[in-house]
């Protein structure tokens, strides 16, 4: 398997935010290509252990190869971070001092034409983060009602032409099923047209990816579980890449920290963003936002 091309974002900020020390047990709940995990292992050396979870089996394979020198201190498991409690306890990974949740789309997934994330992809319109996922984007596009399509385009993509795009998809699929990302992108382009440098299908693809993988529901439902498995004094770092996810994380952390008997405290009241230097070197990092909390 090819080496990961994904560049982890805000690595220094994550390590500093988690306040890691030698001997800590840490969960990288979306381990990806292992970039953050590599630095975490250095921070908790020589005795600290890391549990890496990812829904994508290819990510687990890449990380296993990349971190092979540390195999005595890592445990890797394919699974969804929403099941963090079941996975961690099932593997006997207790007393967790830090958790990282990076909610970005991996560059490794984006470049895989068979996944259908890219406008130029000739592969099937899939967009699942994992082969364990049941729903595909192709199923959504070809079977959901015009009303439901318009709803997710408006809600998840914040697309102002949501109704028009939904109508165009319905018309197109009556002629033949929409099977690839390029076919879908062409349908959107015909109906919306070019508007600046951003491809008109960008928001539509975002909305479909979110719906396919239940991204917002997963974030909302998992935050209480993630806090629950953490030791007192432990920290959680969450990296988001679009406003909808960040809004959920920001609101939940803020409300929990303001309760009469709060379970957490905010480490950074203002969101942490990549430095200008990092944004120039890695344009994919520009929309990243980091929030850190500590369990009381």
Does the bond joining 139 to the residue before it have cis omega, within 30 degrees of 0? no
Is residue 54 within 8 A of residue 30, CB to CB? The reply is yes
Percentages helix, strand, coil for the chain (3-state, rounded to 5) are 50, 15, 35
Which pair of tokens denotes residue 177?
Answer: 């099923």
Which pLDDT score is estimated for 210?
A: 95
Domain boundaries, the chain: 11-108+215-295, 112-213
Which pLDDT score is estimated for 52?
A: 97
CATH classification (class only), 112-213: mainly alpha
Which pair of tokens denotes residue 270?
Answer: 């203002």
Which pLDDT score is estimated for 114?
A: 65
* pLDDT tens-digit map of 79-116: 999 999 999 999 999 899 999 999 987 666 666 666 66
Q: Which residues pair with 291 in a beta bridge?
A: 238
Instruction: Compute, in degrees rounded to 10, the torsion defined by CA atoms 60, 58, 178, 141.
Output: 0
Q: Which of 272, 98, 120, 99 is nearest to 202 (CA)?
A: 120
CATH superfamily of 11-108+215-295: Vaccinia Virus protein VP39 (3.40.50.150)
Residue numbers of the chain with a pLDDT score lower than 70: 1-6, 106-116, 120-121, 195-196
């Amino acid at each position: 398997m090819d080496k990961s091309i994904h560049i982890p974002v805000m690595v220094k900020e994550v390590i500093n935010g988690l306040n890691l020390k030698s001997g800590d047990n840490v969960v990288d709940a979306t381990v990806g290509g292992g970039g953050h995990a590599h630095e975490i292992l250095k921070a908790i050396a020589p005795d600290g252990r890391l549990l890496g979870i990812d829904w994508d089996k290819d990510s687990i394979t890449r990380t296993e190869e990349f971190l092979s020198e540390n195999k005595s201190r890592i445990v890797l498991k394919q699974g969804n971070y929403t099941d963090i409690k079941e996975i961690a306890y099932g593997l006997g990974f207790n007393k967790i001092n830090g958790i990282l949740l990076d909610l970005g789309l991996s560059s490794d997934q984006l470049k895989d034409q068979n996944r259908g994330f890219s406008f130029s992809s000739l592969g099937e319109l899939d967009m699942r983060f994992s082969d364990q996922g049941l729903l595909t984007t192709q199923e959504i596009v070809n079977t959901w009602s015009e009303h439901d399509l318009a709803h997710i385009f408006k809600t998840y993509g914040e697309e102002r032409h949501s109704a028009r795009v939904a109508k165009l998809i319905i018309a197109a699929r009556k002629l033949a099923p929409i099977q690839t990302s390029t076919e879908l992108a062409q349908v959107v382009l015909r109906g919306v047209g070019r508007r600046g440098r951003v491809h008109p299908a960008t928001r539509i693809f975002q909305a479909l990816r979110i719906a396919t993988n239940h991204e917002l529901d997963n974030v909302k439902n998992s935050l209480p579980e993630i806090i629950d498995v953490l030791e007192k004094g432990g920290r959680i770092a969450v990296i988001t890449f679009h406003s909808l996810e960040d809004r959920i994380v920001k609101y939940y952390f803020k409300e929990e920290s303001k309760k009469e008997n709060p379970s957490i405290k905010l480490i950074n009241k203002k969101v942490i963003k990549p430095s200008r230097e990092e944004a120039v070197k890695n344009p994919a990092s520009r929309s990243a936002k980091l929030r850190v909390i500590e369990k009381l």
